Structure 1
Amino acid sequence: MAGRRSGTPDTRGEIIAAAREAFASQGFDRTSLRSIARSAGVDPALIHHYFDGKDALFVAAMDLPLSPRERLAEALDVPRDQAGVAVIRTMLTVWDDEAYQPSLLGVLRSLTSGTAAGTELRTAFVEGMIFPALRQEIEGGVSERAVGLVGSQIIGLIVARYLIGVEPLVSMDSEELAQLVGPTIQRYIDL
């Protein structure tokens, strides 16, 4: 199975899809280029034709079909005293969407991996996209301390509900969860 397959398939897209699934289910560290190539039905050398190594493939695979900054801007187009519930509601809506979940799980697993790629992703994704969006989009602005506390609550909820599968968080209605967790987020926003 050397090189490109016959016909004109979207080989690059198939590699990205296989990588996205592998990173989501196994995380960055336990995913190999060989396993991705096998899943995509291509020779491993073809991955190197399209991507400059595993890190570059990861970045391409985690190209989420949404902009966190745009979603937060939409969510936070509310009065300041409603921002806590709005942030949680939006986060749950995105995470509950099956189209986004594999990519998001891959990002989450990699963020918590302790690898150089995880550190780079944390810096780029959380500190470079999510935190600035929270600071900019909340009416009247918020302190660095508040942003860190909001981030810790969101990450904890995501890990508990979507990665570990803690009940009753998994089976709880998203709106009910937003109403329960939102006031805690609001308290941090109001610091």
Structure 2
Amino acid sequence: MTERSSPRGPGRPRGGKPGDLRARILAAATAEFGERGYEAASMRAIARRAGVDPALVHHYFDDKQRLVAEVVEAPLRPDRLVRTALDGPLDGLGERLVRAVLTAWDSPTVRPAAVAALRSAIGQGPVARMLREFLRREIMHRIAERLDDVGDPGDAELRAELAASQVVGVIMVRYVLEFEPIASLPVEELVARVGPAVQWHLTGRPPGS
């Protein structure tokens, strides 16, 4: 009796070597993000451009956020950092955000590629546009949603952007410009100094009010 082969699971690779298929999907994602931006690009459209089944895209890349990280070779997932920081009480959110970001960027295996990704985001061209849309959707929007139930809901987005501007400023000075003494301060000292300012922007209330 002929031995039957085991059935393929959904999304398992077929029609090419795994490495080739993965590279084809990444090339298609780069083109799709470049032409349409992060918001308009879809996993289905990327699969169509790559000539593969959409389930195969999900097999190699869990979601669109993972694809963005792979396209720009980002060593960390800022959307996951923010999601973890948001998973807790509003009190202390500013400190959690600052601590999560600085702890990740302090890793010597993360910093070089993270700095390169940041420079791409503030540059010109389709990759820069895609990165900015990703950061706005997956970070700013998520923070603003968390702030809807505190302060004036009409300025939740403004408060989220003001808070983010504080964090991005520290990143630029500490990791890109490498100005002292900020470049050498311990993470917890920066958290203690910057966290309350970020919290103020998030809630719209000065510390101690």
TM-score by length of 2: 0.59
1:153: which partner in 2? 166
Q: Does 1:96 align with 2:72?
A: no
Of the three residues 105, 109, 127, the one matched with 2:119 is 109
Q: Does 1:131 align with 2:140?
A: yes
Structure with more relative contact order (C-alpha pairs < 8 Å, separation 6 or more): 1
1:84 aligned partner, one-letter code: G
CA distance in 2 between counterparts of 1:156 and 1:173 reads: 17
Percent identity between the aligned chains? 28
2:51: which partner in 1? none
CA distance in 2 between counterparts of 1:133 and 1:66 reads: 17
Consecutive unaligned residues of structure 2, counting only runs of 5 or more, are: 1-17, 34-66, 205-209
Per-residue CA deviations over 1:16-41 (Å, capped at 9, x if unaligned) read xxxxxxxxxxxxxxxxxxxxxxxxxx
Q: Which has the larger radius of gyration?
A: 2
Per-residue CA deviations over 1:62-91 (Å, capped at 9, x if unaligned) read 354543233222223332121111110111
Consecutive unaligned residues of structure 1, counting only runs of 5 or more, are: 1-9, 13-46
2:198: which partner in 1? 185
Look up the SS of the partner of 2:184 in the other structure. coil
Task: Kindly report the root-mean-square deviation, in angstroms, between the aligned alpha carbons of the 2 structures.
Answer: 3.2
CA distance in 2 between counterparts of 1:159 and 1:167 reads: 12
Instruction: Go from structure 1 to structure 2 and tell me whether the alpha carbon gap of 1:134 and 1:116 turns closer, same or farther (over 3 Å shift).
Output: same
TM-score by length of 1: 0.64
Q: How many residues align?
A: 148
State which drifts further: 171-180 or 130-139: 130-139
State which drifts further: 76-85 or 135-144: 135-144
Q: Superposition pairs for residues 167-178 of structure 1, below 5 Å?
A: 167-178=180-191
2:90: which partner in 1? 80
